[in-house]
Structure 1
Amino acid sequence: MTPTDKSAEKFERQMNLLAALSDTVQGIRAIDIQQRVPGYNADHDSFRRTFERDKKDLLSLGVPIEVVAGATADLTAYRVDKSKYELPDPGLESDELAALHLALETVTVGSSPGDMARAMWRLGGVVDAASTNPVGVPVGELTEIPSDASLVPLFRAVMERRVVSFTYESTSGTSLRSVEPWHLDFKRGRWNLTAFDLERNEQRNFRLDRVRSEVEMADAGSQSHGVPATPTAQAEPWEFGDNEPVVISVKFDAEVSEFARQSLASCPVSDQADGGATFEVPVTNWPAFRSFVLSFLDHAEILAPPESRASLSQWLEAIGGDVHG
């Protein structure tokens, strides 16, 4: 039997012992444990040695094994008081259960979907789409936050400060990127990575849905650039591009200026006499920023540079021609 097989056998035996000790009120005698709990040797001396080691291991893990004294040593029994050991209902809200579910979906350590479902049930269940009450419905129905094949290795790379490489598709084409991952965030339905790009020698933002290969990881601690002490703001869609940033001046009417301030909080702003505001926005992804500006309809106007004004006009004219032609 290999060491791995022995460890698995020991773990299974100790879990069976814990189940037996938890399933009795009066206690269970050693001789009954030997006969009922799978994994123990029929030889008395061998059983006693193994049983004592298992008790010691469980006690070191915080399992409150109680000894129920009998009239003689043979009548001594053992038990685990569930009220002192089992996790009480933590009373988690639906959003807290959703966060735990996401963690289970993202990082698993040899767990099957059934194991994750049972773990969620013990913490209060999962959320039924038709109710706010925690019930035992399939875990997969809890949340629609998407996962991604590159998410788990990138989480690991962030935690262990590993350099990673992957093929990435950007607005300028597909290329191999080597980066030092700093942090991941989920925004507007997508996972995004903020990292230090080693080829471009600066911070860049990456959308995980544009990663076109497996993530290759270097050794732990291979990053050479320090993570900024002050976390950077979450990247906006118009910041995901490989082109040189173009600063676009945009004026927003008073009716929408407050919302614009929230969306462009990191950009320089000039207040206008009529209550509007003009922002200077660095853009590396023009189509994304164009969509953002158009979402304000006639309450937003690109002032400069002239090339951006002309590009927007031409695009609108082309769209209008397609609609009427």
Structure 2
Amino acid sequence: MLTVLSLLQARRDWPARVLAERLDISERTVRRDVDRLRGLGYRIRAVKGPDGGYRLDAGSELPPLLFDDDQAVALAVALQNAAVAGSAFGEPALRALAAVRQILPNRLRHRIDGLRFTAVPTGVPTDAVDADVLLAVSAAVRSGEVLRFDYRSPETAGDASPASRDLPPGRRAEPHHLVARNGRWYLVAYDLDRGDWRTFRVDRLSPKTPTGPRFAPREVPGGDVARFVSARFRGGSSDAAGGWPCTGTVILRAAAAELRPHLADEALDELDDGRCRVTLGSWSWVALAGRIAQFDADFEVVGPPELAQASAALAGRFSAVGERRPQDDAVH
């Protein structure tokens, strides 16, 4: 019966024959399970036609929530993670978790209590997203309507995404995706005033009503919203494919065993003489040179020339610091 309910929630219409084949039961058993669910308050309507079946309609009252064992554990994990998702739903999620735990049978309660983990946010949000703002933005995304909003620029440039700094209020944008990243919520939208894609911090966004006209959906540059957002935070352009804007290759005089814990496998190529060929990326050439220097090993630049130039510039800066006399610091 729980599986029948789960399938009815997954798609609009289910022919009785298909349900019976999916569950390896008779159509008579399907009818009996449907009748039991109706008795619990679920509004399941019979669909007429040559291949008649069933459809789960929304009811006016909340019927009992029924979960199988794996669904109950998954719900508990999701609610605990929601508490650190960077929105105003954190505290209600913990209350919901307590309510769900209260009504679970002992065997499931013991499973959930035995699943001990700590949900730690990967970022440090400065402001939680207001629930009404999150719902309003999500509704505009779902309905495909132009979003009008005021946008608060960050007080300091260092704590904002590169794509959303110093934007004036009174924005108009086509909202396409709502993204949760590192404890913060972002709106990926096509800015109508600038004619380009932008990412906006949702906690700095104040939607206006009513929304604007409907718009035809556009494809995010590169076709993948996750890679698009990653590229923007790495300093890439709007058409970046998700990689770093600066990528170079070096040969490090270090054993692969020393480097592998700090590098992805695809970036490391072990050579025969105890050296390693490493390909890395960063948001600038100087930053990339600094990242390579962190391995505390001699290296030679394979390419490109910009990485060699950045390494020389960085070496000059370090050399100047090393040559500075103590009395120079005292004067300053």
Instruction: State the TM-score bracket (shorter-chain normalisation).
Output: 0.3 to 0.5
TM-score, length-scaled by structure 1: 0.44
Bigger Rg, which one: 1
TM-score, length-scaled by structure 2: 0.43
